Amino acid sequence: MLVFAVETSCDETSICIMESNKKIHSHMIYSQEIHKKHGGVVPELASRAHLEILQKLYLDCFKKSKISINDIDVFSATCGPGLIGGLLVGSIFTKSLAIGSKKPFLPINHLEAHITSTSYNNEIKYPHLIMLLTGGHTQIYLMQNKNNIKLLGETIDDAVGEAFDKVGKLLNLGYPGGPEIEKRAAYGNKNTYQLPIPLASSKNLDFSFSGIKTFVNILTKKNSLTKKFVNDLSASFQKNIEDILSIKLQNALDSFKNKPINIKNVSIVGGVANNNYIKKSLTKITKKNNIEIFFPINEMISDNAAMIAWNCICKYDESLLDLNFKANPRLAI
Ligand code: KG4
Ligand code: ZN
């Protein structure tokens, strides 16, 4: 089966052609530059940029792969959650190709695609625990089997990637903040500032990040943004996030101790899984608990169409084909 997939839920425009044997015939990701000067994603600009870029990416993808559109068996696109303008552009573009080629369309949930991204390069054993760490979501899921995904906890305010982005903005590091904070943190002292750990003592699996951003905001008002200050605060902030994620991962594993659920492996997915410092810490926690940890391949960590194609392949079923499926910014799993 040859799948054509499109991702446009935020500020990455991406197309992938993947075969059901996992072969990626072509995969292109265009990160929209236009948002950098605004310090965050501007939805209207994002949808316009998707519209402009999709057609070029589409031509490039087919040219590179030497595949003809007539060879595609299924067309799939992210239909939510995300920014409605981008979702509409991507889904309508892909549906039109499906109609034109008289082939089916399979709608994809963006979060589900992140969640199944580690099954591309790993043998998942169930029950499986997933930490989803993106710019819009921070959630912990339990997957009892391929079709049973249960939400165990999530952020009650900002998402973890959003916290990186907002702190990055306060420190004048541009957008997105995550990669730049990781770079600057390497030169800073992580013990300089003691940041709050919200909901630390509660055993539940919810997160809160907005207070940390406020705390950083107060620090930036009291200090000038010297190189040393930015590096030290980046390192302290990154360590603080690492502490929170480690506590919550351990809480999640502890919550199964007296239950007949024996977690076999953990997946860390979404853009924040790019962070090597966080990766190392979470790996340590799973080692201590004798559990395997999985991360997606590099090109499936940040938003991308390969994970959309892979999710389409994983869940493909004729009953799910739906040309009339409406893009939904709040689409739930
Ligand atoms: O999964 P993703 O690409 O898009 C969403 O679905 O939101 O995640 C984007 C988020 C951004 O907030 C970005 O700052 C964060 O992932 N991110 C990082 C790093 N690289 C990307 N956060 C921390 N460290 C990184 N190296
Ligand atoms: Zn995402």
Instruction: Summarize pLDDT for 247-277 with one digit per residue, the tens.
Output: 999 999 999 988 989 999 999 999 999 999 9
Please state the atom number of ligand 1 nearest to the C-alpha of residue 168. 14
- Token digits of residue 14: 């991406």
Rounded to an integer, the average pLDDT of 226-239 is 98
Name the residue ranges covered by the structural domains of the chain: 2-115+300-320, 124-295
Average model confidence (pLDDT) across the chain: 96
CATH topology of domain 2-115+300-320: Nucleotidyltransferase; domain 5 (3.30.420)
Q: pLDDT tens digit string along 170-221?
A: 999 999 999 999 999 999 999 999 999 998 877 889 999 999 999 999 999 9
Q: Which residues line ligand 1 (CB under 6 A)?
A: 10, 134-136, 161-162, 164-165, 176-179, 182, 270-272, 274-275, 302-303
Domains 2-115+300-320 and 124-295 share a fold: yes
Please state the atom number of ligand 1 nearest to the C-alpha of residue 165. 14
Q: Looking at per-residue confidence, does 157 or 39 come out higher?
A: 157
Distance CA 251, CA 266 (A): 13
Q: pLDDT tens digit string along 122-135?
A: 999 999 999 999 99
- The ligand whose atoms approach the alpha carbon of 159 most closely is 1
User: What is the CA(178)–ligand 1 centre distance, in A?
Assistant: 6
> Dihedrals φ, ψ of 30, to 5°?
-115, 115
Q: Which of 272, 279, 280 to mutate to test the pocket of ligand 1 (most atoms within 8 A of CB)?
A: 272
Residues facing 130 on adjacent strands = 141, 267
User: What is the CA(241)–ligand 2 centre distance, in A?
Assistant: 19
- The ligand whose atoms approach the alpha carbon of 110 most closely is 2
Q: pLDDT tens digit string along 78-125?
A: 999 999 999 999 999 999 999 999 999 999 999 999 999 999 999 999
**Residue 258 has what pLDDT?**
87
- Token digits of residue 302: 């940040």
For residue 305, is pLDDT > 80?
yes
CATH topology of domain 124-295: Nucleotidyltransferase; domain 5 (3.30.420)
User: What is the CA(99)–ligand 2 centre distance, in A?
Assistant: 27
- The ligand whose atoms approach the alpha carbon of 7 most closely is 2
Rounded to an integer, the average pLDDT of 303-331 is 97
Residues facing 141 on adjacent strands = 130, 151
Q: pLDDT tens digit string along 26-61?
A: 999 999 999 988 888 999 999 999 999 999 999 999
Residue 102: how many CB atoms within 10 A of its CB?
A: 7
Residue 85: how many CB atoms within 10 A of its CB?
A: 19
User: What is the CA(63)–ligand 1 centre distance, in A?
Assistant: 30
